[in-house]
Amino acid sequence: MVSRELVWGLALCLCCTLAMALASSSHHGQALEEDVGLSYDYKDALAKAILFFEGQRSGKLPASQRVKWRGDSALNDGQPDNVNLVGGYYDAGDNVKFVWPMAFTVTMLSWAAVEYGNEISSAGALNHLRTAIRWGTDFILQAHTSPTTLYTQVGDGNTDHQCWERPEDLDTPRTLYKITSDSPGSEAAGEAAAALSAASIVFKGVDSKYSKKLLSKSKSLFKFADKYRGIYNESFPFYRSFSGYQDELLWSAAWLYKASGDKKYLNYVVRNQGWSEAVLELSWDTKYPGAQTLLAKEFYDGMKDLSKYVTDVESFICAVMPGSSSAKIDTTAGGLLYLRDSSNLQYVTSSCMVLSVYSKTLTASHVDGIQCGSAHFSASQIKAFAKSQVNYILGNNPMKMSYMVGYGSKYPMQLHHRGSSIPSIYNQPSKVGCGDGWSYYSSNTPNPNQHVGAIVGGPDSNDHFNDQRSSFSQTEPTTYMNAAFVGAVAALLDQTNEEPLQHPQINTLINMADSV
């Protein structure tokens, strides 16, 4: 750990004004100062973040399955409607499959592969990432059973949440929910379209036939979402939409243009850019910053009709960056972005993805940065802040622990996760029924199955973490939290793990100090 005195000393060697800036620095600057010189194995973190998805698999597991405590599960999903809905991912620590957040997970994983495929390939993880994406896209393809039908949920959420049992022992109703032209849900259909179009890019040079199929089905889903507009939660009780469906329509159209090059999708986002809003999060519900980031790249590539998307994504970044005169998101004393008490790290990982990709776009476009009122942030400073958030997750925090299971020497041991907390079916073959698992839930012992790579909800606003299964907002993992982290950590693979104090980091400290 590098002390404040050492940083000051180094800064004095550069210039006395820097020393004065650091002397008045806020805790945001302190967090970055302390980060200097610490070592993080981003390649290991990436590999484990992707491995996590194998522990979330539903259905018949392949011979290549690496998470050995998991077994086959939910092999009859879809039977009530005589459709095949076997496969896909369990959403979080429960045993329900929700297609809307599952599709967002696939979109984020695909975005990581599209933006950082070379780096991920060099790290030896690209094939595993493609496999994780395909496990999700195969299910989405199955769920889109007709041009105006998409199955969006398998399993009754209320009943499932009353049970604590392994997915291998499921005995709760596998109720089916679907959107149709009569009961639409444009958010879910739009996100599914985004997932398939983004994935089609990933597989374009690997499996052209599969890529074409994904793109074709994506177009079908987009048409369904746009023609039969309706708010998802008006018909379904779980995953309530607060942002509406316009963000998903923009997000999916942006991906369809990127995947197909068809100008009708570009014209769609130009024609509807009045929908775009400057918001404070990228999440399974709110896609505006993601769409804006994609379309800002098109702006810098010459599509000047897309300027509003640039304005809006830069408003998001200005709201996120500490030291900005328009900062709207709090940070903890330890320097972590903090939006909500429930599963806060989902917003941190997704914000990091936007910051990293946009900083890459600025650099490639030879733009010197963005202006946030009186504060200016260069591309390297934006990326440095994203890096500080990734490093916080990996251990540079007041608790001195990693919030990724299996990474580092100290990490969460009591994951709020049914399959992880109950002995594996291979070690305890006898059935653990709906109510039988609560004794494992209440136990104070570590989970018997280490869910390697799982990123938990994270600490509270005081940087404190309660490693108890009952603290689900802190200890439950989600697929979409991990998916966003894959891109955020992949963006750092081009950096050495141990690095000296460099000018971009010092400039970040200056900006943060000057803003106080």
Tell me which residues are annotated as active site.
416, 467, 476
> Distance (Å, rounded) from C-alpha 151 to C-alpha 318?
38
- Report the alpha-carbon distance of residue 166 to residue 169 in Å, rounded: 5
Q: Could you tell me which residues are beta bridge partners of residue 370?
A: 377
Output Rg (C-alpha) for the chain, integer angstroms: 22
Burial class (CB in 10 A: 0-12, 13-18, 19+), 301: exposed
Name, in order, each residue with C-beta under 8 angstroms of 112's C-beta and a sequence gap of 6 or more. 120, 129, 353, 483, 486, 487, 490
Say whether 331 sits in a helix, a strand or coil.
strand
Q: Which residues of 128-165 are buried (b: 16+ CB within 10 A; e: fewer)?
A: bbbebbbbbbbbbbbbbbeebbbbbbbbbbeebeebbb
| CA pair distance 166, 80, nearest whole angstrom | 22
Strands 375-377, 149-154: pairing kind: unpaired
d(CA 350, CA 329) in angstroms, rounded, equals: 14
* CB of 243 closer than 8 Å to CB of 280: no
